[in-house]
Amino acid sequence: MHLFLIRHGQSLLNLPDWQGGNRDVGLTEKGKEQAAALAHWLPSKVTTPKAIYCSSMQRAIETAMPLSETYQLPLLFEDRLREIGLNRLDHTPWPNEELPAYGSIWGSQIPFDSITPNVDEGESFMHFRTRVGSFVQDMVNLHREDSIIAVCHAGVVEAVLDHIYNTGPYRRCEAWTSNTGVTYIEYVAHAARETWRLRYHNRTNHLNF
C-alpha cells in the first residue's frame, strides 16, 4: 500500500489572530491557493490513486475537492480522520456545529485524560491514536496493493507516524506538518524486516508562491 497523507490548507483556525474557538471553518484564500497548487502538482507523483479519503471537517473537504475533480474520484468521508478532540470516546464525531472546547493542557502531556474536559465522553490522546490506528489498519486490509490519498489534519499525520513507529504514550518529538504538506508511507508485507517505510514527510514542492 502507498499511503499519501495530506494536511488541509490554511484555514481560519490557523490564523494567529483567530478568536473564534474550536469551530468547523473552511480555508482562507491562501488555503484555497494551496489546495489548487496541490491538485496541479500531485498527479505527477501519484498517477492513479484507488481512493481519496477525507476528514469530515470543512477545511479538509475544501482541500480535497480540487483533488477529487483532478482525479475524477469521489471523496470518501472518514470520521476517523478528524482532528484530535473532535470525536467522542467511542470514536463517533461531535456535531460540527457543537464542537467541544479544548482544555488548557497539551494532549501528549496527559495522554490518558480527556483533552476536552468540559464535556462528558471526550476523547483522550490515546483514544485519538486508537481511532487513527484503526483507520490505518483498515486501509492495509482494503488497499494492500493500491495507492490511496487521505486528506486530514496535522494531528492525524502525527498519530499515523506514532502508529507505524510504535511510539509510546508519552511522545517526545513533534513531527510538524505544513498546510497541504504531503507525507508518503509505504506498507510492505515482509516477513523478515520492517513492514512500514516512511518515504518522505511534509513535502511542499507545490508551494512555490
CATH code for the domain of 72: 3.40.50.1240
pLDDT of residue 20: 77
pTM for the full model? 0.96
pLDDT of residue 189: 85
119, part of any domain: yes
62, part of any domain: yes
170, part of any domain: yes
Phi, psi for 79 (deg, rounded to 5):
-65, -25
pLDDT of residue 209: 56
21, part of any domain: yes
83, part of any domain: yes
Alpha carbon 202 to its chain centroid, in Å, reads 12
42, part of any domain: yes
186, part of any domain: no
Q: Is 201 exposed, middle or buried (0-12, 13-18, 19+ CB in 10 A)?
A: middle
Element holding 54 (H helix, E strand): strand 51-54
For residue 65 the three cell numbers come to 475537492
With contact defined as beta carbons under 8 Å apart, do 83 and 55 qualify?
yes
With contact defined as beta carbons under 8 Å apart, do 177 and 202 qualify?
yes
Element holding 21 (H helix, E strand): none
206, part of any domain: no
Give me the number of domains the chain comprises. Answer: 1
- pLDDT per residue of the chain (209 residues) written in tens, 0 to 9: 999 999 999 999 999 888 878 899 999 999 999 999 999 999 999 999 999 999 999 999 999 999 999 999 999 999 999 999 999 999 999 999 999 999 999 999 999 999 999 999 999 999 999 999 999 999 999 999 999 999 999 999 999 999 999 999 999 999 999 999 999 999 998 888 899 999 999 999 999 85
**Which residue range forms the structural domain that includes residue 52?**
8-147+156-179
